[in-house]
Amino acid sequence: MTAKIRSSKGAPYARILGVGGYRPTRVVPNEEILKHIDSSDEWIRSRSGISTRHWAGPDETVAQMSVEAGGKAIADAGLTPEQIGAVIVSTVSHFKQTPAVATEIAHLLGTKKPAAFDISAGCAGFGYGLALAKGMVTDGTAEHVLIIGVERLSDLTDLEDRATAFLFGDGAGAVVVGPSKEPAIGPVVWGSEGDKSDTISQTLPWDVYRERSSEEVRFPALRQEGQAVFRWAVYEMAKVAQQALDEAGITADELDAFIPHQANLRIIDSMIKTLKLPEHVTVARDVETTGNTSAASIPLAMERLLATGQAKSGDTALVIGFGAGLVYAATVVTLP
Amino acid sequence: MAATQEEILEGLAEIVNEIAGIPTEDVLLDKSFTDDLDVDSLSMVEVVVAAEERFDVKIPDDDVKNLKTVGDAVDYILKHQG
C-alpha cells in the first residue's frame, strides 16, 4: 500500500539575515607581484583595477578564515551557532577533498550537528549556495542556513604568469539565510556552459603526481583565456543579470546596489554600461583592494558596502556570480 | 547590402573613438590596435562586439587575436559580413 508520508513545513519566504567577512592580514601590493613578472603597476591597474590584494598566511587556513567570517555572519543575524541547521561551503582551494571542510567549520563554530557539505561552483558558488539555502528554508529542511564562500587562490596562482599573477586574492565571506514573511530573495537565474570548460580551469589534475614527481611537474595553477572570459562575462552575463531582474519583477531604477562577482574592474565597468544601470545604483568595486576571491567575492563585497555605509539594510541589490565551468547564478536580494 | 571597405573603416573608426577615445581620423588601415590606438586586449573585445552588431558579422574569439591592425579587421569584416 502507499502509506501517507508527512512532509516538512517551511517558511513562506527566505531572506539574508546577516553577513560577515574575513580578509587575511597580509596586504600584497602590485609592487610585490612585479618581482616575478615583467609588467608595471599602471598596466595591472589599467587591465584589472586591482592595486592590492590579501594573501593568507600559514594559519589563515580555509577552515579558519571560514570560522571567522561565519561567526560574524551568525552574530550579525542575531543568532547563536546552535540555531544553524545547515552549513554550505563553496571553495575550489581546499586541498583535502575528504571529508568536506564544511563539517570541520560547523564543528569549530560550535553548531549542533547541522547538515554540512561543500559545493564546487567556482566564482558562482555563492549564488549556487544562496539558491540551495533559500530552498532549504522554504522547504523546512533547515530553519537557518550558513553559506560560506572561501578561497586561498594564492595557492593556485602562477606567480610567473603575467596574465593572472596579479588577479587572485584570499578571503572568506558568509551569509545566514533564514525565514521571512516577505519575499527577500528573488528567483535564481543559474546555469552552466560545459562546452566552455577550458576557458577557465586548473592547469593539471592532482593525479598527475601519481605518474610524475613534483620536480618534473609544476604545482597546478588557475589559467584562463582572458578575451573569451571577458566577452562571455560582459555580454552574456549582462543578459543573465537582466533576466534575474525581470524574474524578480524589479526594474533597474528600483535597484539600490549592484554586487557582481569581483573578477576584474574592467568587466564590472563594461557590465554596467551593457546593462545601462542608472547612476544612483551603488556598484561594489571591492576588487580594487581585495582582488578576485572567487566564491568569497560577493559576500565580501556585500559586507564592505554595508560596513562603509555605501549600502544599507533593506536596500535592494542585484548579485551575479560567474566563472569556471563555465557556471553562473544571479538573483535579486534584500540586503541584511 | 554589404558594406564597402570605406564604410567599414568609417564604422570602425567611430567604434574605436567611442571605446578608446581616439580621434576618428587617426583610425587608418595600417594602424595597430594595441601599439598605435591604445586599444588593449579587453577593449579589443568591446570593439569586436560593437563591430559584430554594426556589420552583421560573427568574429569568434580564436579569430580576434589575428586582428592586429585596423586593415586586418576591415578585411575580416569585408569577407565575413552577412
Task: For residue range A50-60, list pLDDT tens digits in order.
Answer: 999 999 999 99
- Lowest mean pLDDT across A10-19, A204-213, A276-285, B6-15: A204-213
What's the mean pLDDT in B5-21? 92
Q: Is A229 on the interface with B (CB under 8 A)?
A: no
| pLDDT digit string, tens, across residues B36-65 | 998 998 999 999 999 999 999 999 989 998
Q: How far apart are CA A66 and CA A91, in angstroms?
A: 10
Average pLDDT over residues A19-46: 95
Give how far Cα A246 sits from Cα of A14, A170, A186, A317, Å.
19, 33, 10, 13
**Level-2 CATH architecture, domain B3-78:** Orthogonal Bundle (1.10)
Give ipTM to 2 decimals.
0.87
Residue B15, min C-alpha distance to chain A (Å): 15
* pLDDT at A35 > cutoff 90: yes
Q: Which residue of A has its CA nearest to B41?
A: A227
**Phi, psi of A30, deg, nearest 5:** -55, -35
Model pTM score: 0.94
CB contact under 8 A, A235 and B61: no
Nearest Cβ partner for B46 among A225, A226, A270: A270
- Give the integer Cα–Cα distance in Å for A236 and A133: 26
A259-291 pLDDT, tens digit per residue, is: 999 999 999 999 999 999 999 999 999 999 999
> What pLDDT is recorded for position A281?
97
Q: Give the count of beta carbons closer than 10 Å to the beta carbon of residue A318.
A: 25
Question: Residue B65: how many CB atoms within 10 A of its CB?
Answer: 11
Q: Say how far apart CA B54 and CA A91 lie, in whole Å.
A: 41
- Checking DSSP bridges between strand A145-152 and strand A86-90, what pairing results, if any? parallel
pLDDT of residue B81: 86
Residue of chain A nearest B42, judged by CA positions: A227
Distance in angstroms (rounded) separating the CA atoms of residues A168 and A204: 18
Catalytic residues of A: 123, 261, 292
Beta-carbon separation of A227 and B46 below 8 A: no
Tell me the H-state helices in chain B. Answer: 5-20, 33-37, 41-55, 61-64, 70-80
Residue B2's pLDDT is 82
